[in-house]
Amino acid sequence: MATPGSSQARRVPRPHDFLPLLKFKRPVLDPTTRRLERALTIADLRVIAKRRTPKAPFDYTDGAAEAELSLSRARQAFEDITFHPAILRDVSAVDTSVQVLGKRSALPFGIAPTGFTRMMQSEGEIAGATAAAAAGIPYSLSTMGTTGIEEVAAATPQGRNWFQLYMWKDRDRSMALVDRAAAAGFDTLLVTVDVPVAGARLRDVRNGMTIPPTLTPRTVLNTIPRPAWWINFLTTEPLAFASLDKWSGTVAELLDTMFDPTVTFEDLAWIRDQWPGTVVVKGVQSVEDAVKVAELGVDAVLLSNHGGRQLDRAPIPFHLLPQVRAAVGDQLEVHLDTGIMSGQDIVAALAVGADFTLIGRAYLYGLMAGGRRGVDRAIEILTGEIERTMRLLGVTSIAELEPRHVTQLQRLAPRSV
């Protein structure tokens, strides 16, 4: 019977009316799979990582130098953009691959070198390297890695591995690592030039962060709700630097004993001549230095402020990118890291002038959230965001991205005199 003023007759619902609406998702029994499926963004992975990882290793990953302004500004720079989409393009298929340093990468990003990775989660460097190999992207092993050069190479026979070098005061030991990496088939050397001394990473100082981790009443209390981390930590190989002798002090103390503040452009040229593969200079933070590096004949510069972990208030790599691209032209490739937390960040960097990008924290959050499967999930999230952003911009390949697709909005600008 219709009620007064109604346009439709009402009726009592029948059971079969509900059946099409009652579609229950099959329960996921594996807890790792379940929590990773709930992560839709890198920020979601970070939340899971923080919940599952003790404070000292999480803060080592998550934190930056001093007031952490370099990191927050780098992330803000990516947020302060406007995309300019084109409409009515056939974007049914998109190609995310790029040529980087003479070889194909299935995606326009690789995994950046990160130290102490097995401290963050016991699968460590092997999880990152094997996930990268499976995705068809480069993996970078740090001098401060906790898995050996030869172990990473053996775990990734089809992978593409790069080695990141810090120049130490003991040059013979530095170059011995370079020789081992070349012998193991690593094709690219990332020479890091922004660490003459260690940055003031205050979270680590406050946490008393050491290698291996120091047990104090506070760290034990913090670990109680995170038993999986400790079970994994205690039932796998003891944590140590794969390329170094044992060290029982803080990380900052170790770095200051190792790193050589006397390294110059002449040393960089010498290192370039020792390496048989391609060379990337990591940590370039000015147009002038990018031009000088290009003149040395290296293969790429990596615009980076070390993830905000060295000089606080450092230049923002994403802001620097257009000027460097214009200054070096096609002399060499321009890569970028620092602040990348989404596929949109990567697309913006490529449009503004980068040939390639590297992710650090973004994959480490996945590692801490779920080991190798967590790294796979981080790569999957970024890949989906890149493909979706490309389609919405109206482009079908990375090569079609141009500066016209992005406007960098101005938040921080020099004060006029």
The residue written with tokens 């995309």 in the block is 83
Tokens standing for residue 224:
């109680």
Q: Which of 16, 84, 306, 405 is catalytic?
A: 306
Tokens standing for residue 324:
């460097």
Give the CA count within 13 Å in the CB-facing half-sphere of 182: 15
- Are 258 and 191 within 8 A, CB to CB? no
List the beta bridge partners of residue 281: 191, 301
Task: Give CA–CA dist 124/147, Å, rounded.
Answer: 8
Tokens standing for residue 167:
């120049």
Annotated active-site residue 306? The verdict is yes
**What's the start-to-end Cα distance of the chain, in Å?**
79
Task: Give CA–CA dist 96/273, Å, rounded.
Answer: 33
- Comparing CA positions, the residue from 140, 141, 168, 163 lying closest to residue 254 is 168
Task: Give CA–CA dist 140/144, Å, rounded.
Answer: 11
- Are 165 and 275 within 8 A, CB to CB? no
Tokens standing for residue 37:
């499926």
Any idea which residues carry the catalytic annotation?
306
